[in-house]
Chains A and B, each alone.
Chain A
Amino acid sequence: MTRYTNSSQPATTFSLDGEEVPFTPGDTVLQAAHRVGRYIPHLCWHPGMHPHGSCRLCSIKVNGRPAAACTALASAGLQVENQTPAMQAQRKALLQMLFVEGNHFCPSCERSGNCLLQATASHHEMEGPHFEEFYPARPVDASHPDVLLDHNRCILCGLCVRASQAQDGKDVFAIAGHGIEAHLVVNSPSGKLGDSALSVDDSAAQICPVGALLPKRRGFETPIGERRYDRHSVADAHTQEATAQGHEEDPT
């Protein structure tokens, strides 16, 4: 159904949890919501990247039917449910599954406090993992002089893949395999990061929302209490990925 704000001007808003959100043609629901500071949880989405639709944390209901907010196009009069108890419970279960599938032991991770997965789980009041731990034993690639790749922490969001292609023009990363066997691969003769074209200054090296890709020799450089999500709520859509320049940058 098309709604109109007056007799001649077509409406360019949709309803997000009962509040009207303006959009421009071509916007996705998540893009439009992010622009006005409305938080729809997400991990694989980034404002500078094409949507991936893989993490499903941004699942919403559009006119009563489930959809991914990062891929669903906004249109006038949509009725979008976002922060409902049912959607929040579903997101919490997704977060719990992500935690048990990898090694997300926060006390040992240099990304702690700057980690989107950690902050999102905290926001959703995830107290325990609920599911059985996988305890994966995937390789850690320390071959690059400036960047560490820990496959145990990769959530397969594909942000490094897209950033390397679209922003760095290098095609360093890809996701291979299917289902539980899906994994990140590195485009180099040896398959090692050290033999790839990746530079620590590349967007791909800095865009990882978790601790899978980390710059070396910067571990724990920001004290507890001063890290990104110590100072900013993950629900503030303008503080978490305002730029593609990584998590160490001050978002204020």
Chain B
Amino acid sequence: MSTAHPHHAPAPPPYPALPRRKLKVATCSLAGCFGCHMSFLDIDERILQLIEHVEFDRSPLTDLKEVGRCDLGLIEGGLCNAENVEVLRDFRRQCHTLVAVGACAITGGLPAQRNAMSLPHILGEVYQQREGLKTGCAIPNDPELPLLLRQVRPLHEVVQIDYFLPGCPPSADSFWVFLTDLIAGRTPRLASGPIRYD
């Protein structure tokens, strides 16, 4: 009979350390106010820890215009025009994991408050009937301007979304919990505390 006590068993040999690749992250803002990006930056000095584990692809932080192959895409803002849809579809093609960030991306948010009105009515109100405008003002119609959608829509109605970060905006701590979970290989889960809709 062996006298070895299970608690005294020799430790297993260490596995060779795998080279840890930085996660490639892209972010963008569609029809929104950029507040979610600002809230993300509110992680403050923790961004120095984050940058040890991620590198940014297309993002307002890098000013790249095209999204490359990425592990993670964070998108704030809803879909209000054809360009928004194109950018979202690019992100979906290029990002392994896609996250809808904030009220506008998740529900349409504040821009979607226009959905109760018709587009011609809104355009007329803004460009033609507003107080102080001269008579005869025209609604912009340049081919470079992306066509407006009839209604602002949330992202999950157009592409598959993997995670939702609710809030207007989500708190910096929500971003931190989500990203550190993901970097550590855990399924991100916001407890009810960080989940806010306002």
Chain A contacts with B in 114-139, Cβ cutoff 8 A: 118, 121-130, 132-133, 135-137
Which among A104, A121, A127 has the greatest number of chain B C-beta atoms within 10 A?
Answer: A127
Q: What residues of A have a CB within 8 angstroms of the CB of B168 in the complex? A: 106-107
B107 touches A105 (CB 8 A): yes
A113 at the interface (CB under 8 A from B): yes
Q: Which residues of B contact A132 (CB under 8 A)?
A: 157
Inter-subunit contact A127/B163 (CB<8 Å):
yes
Contact between A133 and B197 (Cβ–Cβ < 8 Å)? no
- A104 / chain B contacts, CB cutoff of 8 Å: 197
The reply to whether B112 and A135 form a contact with Cβ atoms under 8 Å apart is yes
Chain B hits for A105, CB < 8 A: 103, 107, 109-110, 112-113
Q: Across the interface, do B103 and A129 meet the contact criterion of CB distance under 8 Å?
A: no
Query: Which B-chain residue is minimally distant from A117 (CB atoms)?
Result: B197
Q: Does B192 contact A (CB under 8 A)?
A: yes
User: CB distance A129 to B116 under 8 Å?
Assistant: no
B198 within 8 A of A: yes
Alpha-carbon separation in the docked complex, A69 to B5 (Å)? 54
B198 to A133, Cβ gap below 8 A?
Answer: no
Q: In the complex, A224 Cα to B198 Cα: how many Å?
A: 10
B103 partner, pick from A106, A121, A122, A126, beta carbons under 8 A:
A106
> Bound state CA distance, A147 and B157, in angstroms?
35
**B97 beta carbon closer than 8 Å to chain A:** no
Complex CA distance for A108 and B108, rounded to whole angstroms:
13
Given known pairs A112-B198, A135-B116, A137-B116, the reply for A129 and B107 (CB within 8 Å) is: yes
Cβ contact of A128, chosen from B100, B113, B189, B192, cutoff 8 A: B100
Query: What residues of A have a CB within 8 angstroms of the CB of B153 in the complex?
Result: 133
Q: For the complex, is B24 an interface residue (Cβ under 8 Å from A)?
A: no
| Contacts A105-B109, A128-B164, A128-B166; A123 near B154 (Cβ below 8 A) | no
Instruction: Give the residue name and chain of the A residue nearest to B197 (CB).
Output: A106
- Is B145 among interface residues, defined by CB-CB distance under 8 A? no
Q: Please, how many angstroms separate the alpha-carbon atoms of A107 and B112 in the complex?
A: 12
Residue of A nearest to B78 (CB): A133
Q: For residue B103, which residue of chain A has the nearest CB?
A: A107
Residues of chain A within 8 A (CB-CB) of B151 are 135
Which residues of chain B have C-beta atoms less than 8 A from A224's C-beta?
198
B156 within 8 A of A: yes
Residues of A within 8 Å of B196, CB to CB, are: 106, 122
- Across-interface contacts of A126 in B (CB, < 8 A): 166, 195
Are A135 and B115 within 8 A (Cβ)? yes
B163 touches A133 (CB 8 A): no
- 0/1 interface trace, chain A 92-111, chain B, CB 8 Å (1 if under): 00000001000011111100
Of A121, A123, A127, A133, the residue contacting B157 (CB under 8 A) is: A133
With known contacts A105-B103, A106-B197, A133-B157, A122–B192 Cβ distance under 8 A: yes
- Tell me if B195 and A127 are in contact (CB < 8 A): yes
B85-110 at interface with A (beta carbon < 8 Å): 100, 103, 106-110
Residues on B with C-beta less than 8 A from A122 are: 192, 195-197
* Alpha-carbon distance A197/B152, docked complex (angstroms): 39
From known contacts A107-B168, A133-B153, infer whether A128 and B190 are also in contact, taking CB-CB under 8 Å: no
Q: How far is the CA of A108 from the CA of B198 in the complex (A)?
A: 8
Q: Does B25 have its Cβ within 8 Å of any Cβ on chain A?
A: no
Q: How does the 8 Å CB contact mask read for B133-167 relative to A, with 1 for contact and 0 for none? A: 00000000000000000010110110001011110
Check A127 against B166 for contact (C-beta < 8 Å).
Answer: yes
Whether B113 contacts A125 by the Cβ 8 Å rule is no
When chains A and B are docked, how far (Å) is the Cα of A136 from the Cα of B113? 10
B197 pairs with A128, CB closer than 8 A: no
B1 on the interface (CB 8 Å rule)? no
Whole-angstrom distance between the alpha carbons of A22 and B44 in the complex?
A: 51
Report the separation of the CA atoms of residues A235 and B186 in the bound assembly, to the nearest whole angstrom: 27
B191: CB under 8 A from chain A?
yes
The 6 closest A-B pairs by CB, nearest first: A128-B164, A106-B197, A137-B116, A127-B164, A106-B198, A107-B168
Given contacts A127-B190, A135-B108, list 11 more A-B pairs with CB under 8 A: A104-B197, A107-B109, A107-B110, A112-B198, A121-B197, A125-B195, A128-B156, A129-B106, A135-B112, A135-B115, A224-B198
